Structure 1
Amino acid sequence: MRQFDLTPLYRSTVGFDRLFSLLDNVAGGEAAPGYPPYNIERTDENAYRITVAVAGFAEKDLAIEVKENALSVRGEKQPEDRKGEVLHQGIAARAFERRFQLADHVQVTGANLENGLLHIELVREVPEAKKPRAIPIGSGAKPAAIEAQVQQAA
C-alpha cells in the first residue's frame, strides 16, 4: 500500500491531530478482518446504522460497549452440549471483536438482534454551542461618548 505524507496538512491545520493519526493507522495498518461481515448505512442526515451478521449468536453471547469514541462489538459463543457428532462445521461460531471509530458527537441510541443480524443505531447530535453561528462585523465607528465626559472637557 502507498504511504502518504501528511506533513503539508500539519502546517496548515490546527486541531486535526486525531484525524491524521487515524489516517496513518488506516494507511499503514493491517487488513480489516473479514469476520463477522457488517454494513454501515446512513438512514437519515444525522442517523446511521451498523448491521453485523451474527448468525448463531444469542443476545447473551454478545456485548456492545462505547468508550472514548470507539464502539466495540464482541461475541463469544457459549459451548453447547451436543447429542451427535459434527461431521462438518461450516457455520462459524468463533469469538470475535469488531471495533468502529466514532466521530465526535455520535451517540449509540440502541441495538436490536433480529434474524441473525445485530442492528446498532447511532445518531449525531451536535451541541448548540458547537453549531455554526454568525459573527456581526463592526463598522469601525467610534463608540458614542458619555455626556458627563463631554461636559467636563468643555
Structure 2
Amino acid sequence: MWMKTAGSLLLLLAMPVIAEETAKATTGGPDRAQGTLGTLLSLGAGLVAVIAVIYGCAWIIRRMNGMTGMNNNAIKVVSVMAIGARERIALIEVGGQQILLGITPSAIRTLQIFEEPIVDAGNPNSGDFARRLQSMIGKSWTAPTKE
C-alpha cells in the first residue's frame, strides 16, 4: 500500500523534471539527460528515506507505549469530577478498595478511603455517584445560601 503511494508521489514530483527533460532533449546533449536522471534518482532515494524514517518513528512510539505499565488493571479510575478550574475529585479503585482523591495543580490528597465499593467500577456512569458520595461524607455539594 505505502509502496504504491510512494511510487505515485515520486512520479508526481518527477513530472516537471521529465517535462523539462523532454523539452531540452531536442537541444541538449546526452550529458544533460544523464544529469537529470541522476537528480531524479537522488530525489526518489531521499523520499524513500524520509518515508522510512517516519514509519520507523511510528513503530518506536507504538513499542514504547506498551512499556509504560506492565499491569494496567491494578489501578482503575472509576470517576472524575471537576470542582474548579484546575481542581478535581477522583475516585480510584486499588486492590478492591475505592479511594477518593482531591487533585490540585500542586498536590494530590486522600480525602476518604472506602472499605466497600460505593460505585461499581464496571459501570462508572451510574449517575448516583454524587448522591452516594454526599451521603457518605455528610456534606452538601451546593454553595451556601446567603442569608
* TM-score, length of structure 2 as denominator length: 0.25
Q: More strand per residue: 1 or 2?
A: 1
Higher Cα Rg: structure 1 or 2? Answer: 2
Which TM-score applies when normalising by structure 1? 0.24
Task: For CA contacts below 8 A with separation 6 or more, give which structure has more relative contact order.
Answer: 1
